[in-house]
Structure 1
Amino acid sequence: MNSEYILAIDAGTGSCRAVLFDIEGNQKAIEQKEWSHDELSKYPGSQVFDTKENWESIRHCIQKVIRNNEIDPAAIRAVSSTSMREGMVLYNEKDEEIWACPNVDGRAREEARFLIENNFAEEIYKESGDWISITSPSRFLWLKNNEPEIYKKTKKMTMISDWILFKLSGEFATDCSVGSSSGLFNIRERVWSSNIANLLELAKTILPEVYESGTVIGTVHSQAAEDTGLLAGTPVVLGGADTQMGLTGIKRIHPGDLTIVGGSFWQTTVVSDTPLIDKEKRLRTLCHSVPNKWMVEGIGFYCGLTMRWFRDAFCDLEIERAEERKVDPYVLMEELAAKVPPGSNGVTGIFSNIMDAKRWIHASPSFLQFDIDNPSHSGKKECIRAIQESAAYISNGHLKIIEELTEKNLRNIVFTGGGAKGQLWSQIIADVLGANVSVPKVKESSSLGTAIYAGIGAGIYTSVDSAFEEKKAIEKVYFPNPENYQLYCELFDRWLKIYARSLELVEQKLTRPLWRANGL
């Protein structure tokens, strides 16, 4: 076993994890803890990122990955982090956390509406590449209007991955990939936007210094060493946003690289060597973690979390049998779904909508068209496949927009993330999109991308391209079945019409949406 390691910390929407790699990029150990983000009843749409409780989860994951695998802390060459985008943490003059929210906090509805009605949202989008739905501009206005004492006490702000590195090193810094998800960035220049800060009357002094991913910002301090089991003095290195780290982990860093990252949310992304911004304000553009590269993406809302919800709500038997077989419950769920033909015997899943950043609203989650006269062909297994098909429909919708923007036919796709562990899901994507879908050997590529940057900071690698080239190797290519593709073309058009009707119920306030963007 290699005696030197790199540690990646990953704070996603649905869980945190500590992942240990050797310097050849082989995953040696992982500790994970699922989490959720509570709503404050007095603030509808709010979600709280509990920094105290969540740091406890993160530090215990680090402790366990070191202790349970008998790792000498001195053998860990560097540590870095990645996280969900958009979430932010605020600090007072003593550098104490005083307010934090995860990515989909939706309390700032009136403030977002104000920015839209006064044409500020349009101006912010043109410079930042992202709409104001779940980004910092509307959140800062909300604080100013609703929690003015917090607003006045705020002396610093970071994104969540930056917060993890602050907890380890005491240093404030951000990288371009996660910083650009704030809505406060000039993505062309890859710096904080003075123009947007002025629009919001926001002091730029609260914003951390911006560096490229792979920059050493400090070392693990003594308190963090005591909390985590890491060695004091271990280099702390900037990683970045989870999607960009996922692309980095499998070397999707070149213009035209199209990737679907299947995590809690699903991102359909293409890399660009220019900051390509959608004039119709449907998709968003952020900085890639690689200098002078950007990425355009469409987001599938809760695609992975929907499957987790179904597992926890309806699959007790599969969870029990998975323990007996010592496999993941999702393996057994896919075995069930594999018995169902394309179209899920008519059962239709209504979950995420195709992204339209300027008016992003989702129908109420539901399954439609059960055949109650035929339960053996209209039950659990059909629902599992319907969830998978709905996620593929979302990716298909985003691919069509990306091809329109890039004026390219992008039919060779890489599928990574937790969703890519499922063979059936990969085949469904190939069939729905009518494209070759390559699944890399490394599925949890966000942690690997973060480890690459930790290794760059430690001087182990000189660049992303130079780090363990074989890790971008493809495990399997899924080719579309022509008959299934033709069927799915019809089913996709039908799904769009059903979704539009389901959305009408939300617009009429008869049902509650899966999620509604601020400003609507």
Structure 2
Amino acid sequence: MYLGIDIGTSAVKLVCADTDRILTTSSVAIKTSSPQPGWSEQHPDLWWQATRDALDQLSGQITLSEVKAIGLSGQMHGAVLLNRDLHPIRPAILWNDSRAVQECEDLRAAQPEIGHIAGVPPLPGFTAPKIAWLKKHEPANYAKLSHILLPKDYVGLRLHGELVTDASDAAGTLWLDQASRDWHAGIVEATDVAGDWLPQIFDGHNCVGAVSAQAATETGLKPGTPVVAGGGDAATGAVSLGATEPGRGFISLGTSGQLFVADRAYKPNPERYVHAFAHTLPDRWYQMAAMLNGARPISWIGGQLGLSAAEVVALAETVSGDRVPIFLPYLTGERSPHGDPHIRACFFGLEDSTTRADICRSVVEAIAFCFADAAQSFGDSIKELPELAAIGGGSRSELLLRLIATVTEKPVVRSDGADSGPAYGAARLAAFGEGALDRADLALQPPTTDMFEPADMAPLFERLARFRKLYTAVSLAE
């Protein structure tokens, strides 16, 4: 029995699995704070407490002491800033934080080839420019800084006491030389970071520590249980779907969104803001379009209208007319394919007759349109994919998957446990690290339970064209 822990943005999710199936899951919600416009933060201790609470939920279903190994997954790019005593200096600055715009410009100037070295041009959501921002705007906190971790790796620290990460999470910092899979000294120096602040890098299946006596007391896990490095949520989501070899791709519909294609080679495409990153497994890379606004707009509009996410989608199912407004879903700016931290969300085409159902439909359609833009940004490299698998909480919506299949012109498939993808992938990496699975097993795709084929929906493509024109008009007016 293997445990996967996924430190998400909206929840910590746990999966307990054997070598070929999910046995049980648990989840504990966490909140994000935005103390200033464009800021997005969470205190690392929230992740640890939510992990403990989720383990407590699991303890009613399984015997935690029977867990053989643990794998970690988590939201990427977050800056977890620790002092020399390994305590957080301040709340972590998250992936969807847009404060470090000027620092990105400075980094581009200092490292003109950074897009080809680090796999993507500097964007404020990444870890590296946040440290330059910290030095400029919070010098007292910068003076205390001794260690930098990614979100999942802080939970790893609390479990086993080591300062480590994996290649896929390191890939999302901007400090990694993707080709060599090691920290790039020039980029590290350009962002006012000391090399010894950064953790040691491992492959995702490598054992990096064991549950300490203190962590065992706090969690109920057995002391000495091996912990593997795991991966960023995109890479562990890929492992859950067998997307570790070329020709495999998937979409992830969590708070953020990703369109992911696995490869054996490093293929940067910074001009289109397609991320080219190291995979969590050795000698593998991937290309990914990363959208800051995945399924999050559904929960956002639900909050405004007093509806659950399921109720938003159900209302959206009831309408499909031409008078549905167009929604730009850029609640926190956008990364792929625009690289635009300043763009914000808006509705266009609201009428006196517009209903709540129309608004819900426009929000769901907008998420699909973002994936159409993402697919377009890949160019020919996506044409050979036979299908796209779907994971994340948004994959529960059949309407959304049908719309994405149509606008990307790719069949979308879903399997059991799709909404627990990254945590399940982390559990599989733990099983690989312990020898219960081999590398070939990680490339096996789970059985398909549902397939959504592209449909003949000409009005939808007309609204997609209007969506793209609206983005152009709004971005020019910024």
Q: Do they fold alike, i.e. is TM over 0.5?
A: yes
Q: Counterparts of 1:232 and 1:107 in 2: how far apart (Å)?
A: 41
Matched, 1:496 2:468: yes
Worse-superposed segment, 5-14 or 164-173: 5-14
Q: Is the 8 A contact 1:354 1:398 kept in 2?
A: no
Matched, 1:420 2:420: no
TM-score (norm 2): 0.92
The aligned counterpart of 2:434 is: 458
Amino acid at match of 2:47: N
Q: How does 1:5-84 map to 2 (within 5 A)?
A: 5-30=1-26, 32-41=27-36, 44-66=37-59, 68-69=60-61, 71-84=62-75
Report 1:136-147 matches (<5 A): 136-147=127-138
Shift of 1:419: 1.4
SS of equivalent to 2:172: helix
| C-alpha distance in structure 1 between counterparts of 2:422 and 2:52, whole Å | 19
Residues 329-378 of structure 1 show CA distances to partners (whole Å, capped at 9, x for unaligned) of 51x433322221265x3321111377456741354323322332x4xxx3
Contact 2:132 2:192 in 1 (8 A): no
Distance 1:357 1:129, change over 3 A: farther
Task: State the secondary structure of the residue aligned to 1:425.
Answer: helix
Other-structure match for 2:344: 364
Give unmatched runs, 5+ long, in structure 2: none
Q: Deviations over 1:366-393 (max 9, x none)?
A: 3322332x4xxx3122222211211111
Q: Is residue 98–residue 150 contact of structure 1 (8 Å, CA) maintained in 2?
A: yes
Identity of aligned residues (%): 22
- Is 1:401 aligned to residue 377 of structure 2? yes
**Post-superposition shift, 1:409?**
4.7
- Mark the CA change 1:468 to 1:293 in structure 2 (over 3 Å): closer, same or farther: closer
Following superposition, the deviation at residue 435 of structure 1 comes to 2.3
The 8 Å contact of residues 82 and 446 in structure 1, kept in 2 or not, is answered as yes
User: Corresponding residue for 2:367?
Assistant: 391
Question: 1:109: how far off?
Answer: 2.8
Structure 1 spans left out of the alignment, 5+ residues = 320-328, 508-520
Q: Distance in 2 between matches of 1:398 and 1:407?
A: 10
Letter in 1 for 2:317: A
RMSD: 2.2
Aligned 8 A contact 2:241 2:389 in 1: no
* Cα deviation digits, residues 122-174 of structure 1 (max 9, x gap): 33222111222222321121222222333233222111111111110001111
What residue number does 2:175 align with? 184
Name which of 325, 331, 346 aligns with 2:324. 346
- Asked if 2 retains the 8 angstrom alpha-carbon contact of 1:250 and 1:442, the reply is no
Structure 1 residues 76 and 407: alpha-carbon distance in aligned structure 2, compared to 1, 3 A threshold: closer
Q: 2:136 & 2:291 partners in 1: Cα distance?
A: 31
Note if contact 1:456-1:462 (Cα within 8 Å) is conserved in structure 2: yes
Choose 1 or 2 for highest CA Rg. 1
CA contact (8 A) 1:80 1:236 kept: yes
Check the 8 A contact 1:49/1:102 in 2, yes or no.
Answer: yes
Distance 1:242 1:473 in 2: 21
Find the counterpart in structure 1 of residue 110 from structure 2.
120
Please identify, of 219-228 and 276-285, the stretch whose mean Cα deviation from structure 2 is larger: 276-285
- Structure 1 residues 85-484: aligned runs within 5 Å: 85-99=76-90, 100-116=92-108, 119-133=109-123, 134-316=125-307, 319=308, 330=310, 332-341=311-320, 343=322, 345-352=323-330, 355-356=335-336, 359-361=339-341, 363-372=343-352, 374=353, 378-404=354-380, 406=381, 408-410=383-385, 412-443=387-418, 444-463=420-439, 465-466=440-441, 469=444, 472-482=446-456, 484=457
Q: Return closer, same or farther for 1:150/1:364 CA change in 2, 3 Å cut-off.
A: closer
Change in CA separation of 1:72 and 1:411 when aligned onto 2, cut-off 3 Å: closer
Question: For the residues of structure 1 that align with 2:350 and 2:189, how far apart are their CA atoms?
Answer: 54
The number of aligned residues is: 473
Per-residue CA distance 1:409-440 (angstroms, 9 max, x = gap) = 54622222221111111111122222222222
Q: Which amino acid aligns with 2:43?
A: D
Measured against aligned partners, the alpha-carbon deviations of 1:443-487 in whole angstroms (never above 9, x if no partner) come to: 121111111011122222122x32594x611112111222x1x33
Q: Offset at 1:280?
A: 1.5
Q: Shift of the alpha carbon at 1:85? A: 0.6
| Aligned counterparts of 2:384 and 2:442: Cα–Cα separation in 1 | 30
For residues 384 and 443 of structure 2, the distance between their equivalents in structure 1, rounded to whole angstroms, comes to: 30
Residues 61/428 of structure 1: CA separation in 2 closer, same or farther (3 Å cut): same
Equivalent residue letter for 1:361: P
Letter in 1 for 2:421: S
